[in-house]
Amino acid sequence: MKANYRLYLVTEESVPVEELLFKVEEAVKGGVTLVQLREKLSSGNLFYEKAKRLKKLLAQYHVPLIINDRVDVALAIDADGVHIGQNDIPLSVVKEIVPDSMIVGVSVSTVEEAREAEKNGADYLGVGAMFPTRSKSDAEELPSGMLDSILENVSIPIVAIGGIQLNNLAEIRDKNIAGIAVVSGIMKADDPFIAAKAFRNSFQ
């Protein structure tokens, strides 16, 4: 499945399955183009169950599902992609064990990491944190100008992530990025459909 990174939803930790499915479906109806399932605190069994059900739901809307960190879960449910961080299994190893059709993304925060990821076959980069964020406690805010430097040095799609809300989106809207990744701005919204629509309309 071809990826459209325009409005990239990252799920929040430990949301009950039925609530997760409801929120994601509403967000997709509102304009989310890609979903990443992030479950660092869940057991492997629960992660697998959520991933399997989410994949079935998203397939109805032709929206790709990316699995965060867990290559085994991505393979087990035939996910559309997997996203890894700097401390996860090396990208070169991931590329050896996943099918060529699987999208592989990498989190980066420096030009060196971005170049290395592109060289080793990453399909896209998650660059951040753009702004202070509570969704990922160890994420440091990018120095001023770093996003521009990374954009100048790689040619694969870049998704900006970290603390992106409607009130700060204007600061990155005009950059040459493929998309924005949103977590709490949609997942914690009273109405994920309306929130997703607002982000989509604000980032055309």
pLDDT in tens, 90-119: 999 999 999 999 999 999 999 999 999 999
Q: What's the rounded Cα separation, in Å, for the pair 82 and 61?
A: 19
Asked if pLDDT for residue 44 goes beyond 90, the answer is no
Asked if pLDDT for residue 57 goes beyond 80, the answer is yes
Catalytic residue among 6, 23, 136, 197: 136
Active site residue 200: no
The whole-number pLDDT of residue 134 equals 72
Write the pLDDT tens digit of every residue in 125-139.
999 999 988 766 667
Write the pLDDT tens digit of every residue in 155-195.
999 999 999 999 999 999 999 999 999 999 999 999 999 99
Active site residue 56: no
The whole-number pLDDT of residue 204 equals 77
Q: Which helix (H) or strand (E) holds 52?
A: helix 44-61
The residue ranges of every structural domain in the chain are: 7-202
The structure's pTM equals 0.96
Active site residue 136: yes
Count CA atoms within 13 Å of residue 197 on its CB side. 8
Superfamily, domain 7-202: Aldolase class I (3.20.20.70)
CA 4 to centroid of chain Cα atoms = 11
Catalytic residue among 38, 55, 70, 197: 38
